[in-house]
Amino acid sequence: MKKYIKIFIGILIAVIFIWTFVFLYQKSQPKETKYEIVKAEISCLERTTLATGKIEPRDEIDIKPQISGIISEIYKEAGQSIKEGDIIAKVKVIPELGQLNSAESRVRLAEMELKQSQLNEERSKNLLEKKFISQEEYENDALKLKQAQEELQVAKDQLEIVRDGITKSSASMSSTLIRSTITGLILDVPVKIGNSVIQANTMNDGTTIATIADMNDLIFRGNIDETEVGRIHEGMPVKITLGAIQDMSFNATLEYISPKGVEENGANQFEIKASITVPDSVTIRSGYSANAEIVLQSAKDVLCIPESVIEFSGDSSFVSVLTDSLNGQVFERRQITTGMSDGVKIEVKSGITLEEPLQGKEIEVED
């Protein structure tokens, strides 16, 4: 029994030794390397750059009051269309005490002047009838009466403006009624009833009652890196894509490039603007984030190959052309002349033909 066990162990050791020898021999043999075969094609290439920004109306107007006071009525809200001259809100005037006292005093003085002028005019009229004074002296007193009447009316109007912000004689032109200066869409009404507002002056920009814009005239405003700004110019076509409407793109025309850069995150950025063409069936809101794709260079119907198959050596470019596939893959290294690239494909001007197969990436071969 022991004899058979020894024989079995011996055979097992021999099998293991032979298998190990065969395995190591196979591993020591060079593996066959295969490559994916790539062919050139006729295609169109575009080299583009991308600018990020947002959509906004070309003209955005802040409506401010012509007087200071408190908002008593608001007739419009954000999102509504509005025409030029439409009333947005009404301001109730809170008179300043010093100005009010001055205006009231002016009225009282004007009334006293008017009474005196009336007495002088009546006296002159009686004297003229008795021929004690000349016609010219009477006319002077009559003129002073008219001037006193006019001064009283002006004083009363001034008092009404200080006290109420409006005069009875010019109610239709009231500065207490805040009107739109353009036709468009109301983007924002930042005030509420009861808010205090002030008119614009040399010390203050004034309170914004509403922000209005013409949403039929939109632009893209964004930034482009200084490495690309030298390759663009006004009038270039631009394709706009919006984050809010991802399945659509809009045509635009580049119309402005800032002459001065601004440093952002360590890089110089230049502002650009492009006018957008928007179909009537599409609604775009102010402030949408957007990307602008600008075509820097293009080539139509040219011979192209994947840029990954090219071997670059100094200023020269080479590809490996398949010359034999019967006895394994045999390649010939050949110099080519390249043109523009879009980052994925590159134009080949000379060196290969459309039908010639090229060496691509390596393919793993199973044992």
The stretch 280-290 carries a mean pLDDT of 88
Mark out the alpha helices in 37-178 (DSSP H runs): 97-129, 135-164
pLDDT score of 100: 63
pLDDT score of 360: 81
Query: DSSP strand E in 183-242: where?
Result: 184-188, 196-197, 210-213, 218-225, 237-242
If pLDDT is split at 50, 70 and 90, which confidence band does 134 have?
Answer: confident
Position with higher pLDDT, 54 vs 149: 54
pLDDT score of 4: 64
- pTM of the entire structure? 0.59
The stretch 87-94 carries a mean pLDDT of 85
Q: What percent of the chain has pLDDT over 90?
A: 23
What mean pLDDT value characterizes the chain?
Answer: 83
Q: How many CA atoms, within 13 angstroms, populate the side-chain half-sphere of residue 2?
A: 0
Calculate ∠ Cα 249-253-259, nearest 5°.
125
**pLDDT for 80 beyond 80:** yes
pLDDT score of 165: 58
**pLDDT for 28 beyond 80:** no
Q: Is-contact 292 222, C-beta < 8 A? A: yes
**pLDDT for 93 beyond 50:** yes
**Position 223, amino acid:** N
- Who contacts 326 (Cβ-Cβ below 8 Å, separation ≥6)? none
DSSP lists the bridge partners of residue 185 as 81, 213
The stretch 342-358 carries a mean pLDDT of 87
pLDDT score of 328: 74
**Position 11, amino acid:** I
**pLDDT for 8 beyond 50:** yes
Q: What is the pLDDT of residues 233-243, one digit of tens each?
A: 899 999 999 98
**pLDDT for 152 beyond 80:** yes
Q: What is the pLDDT of residues 264-282, one digit of tens each?
A: 888 889 999 999 988 888 8
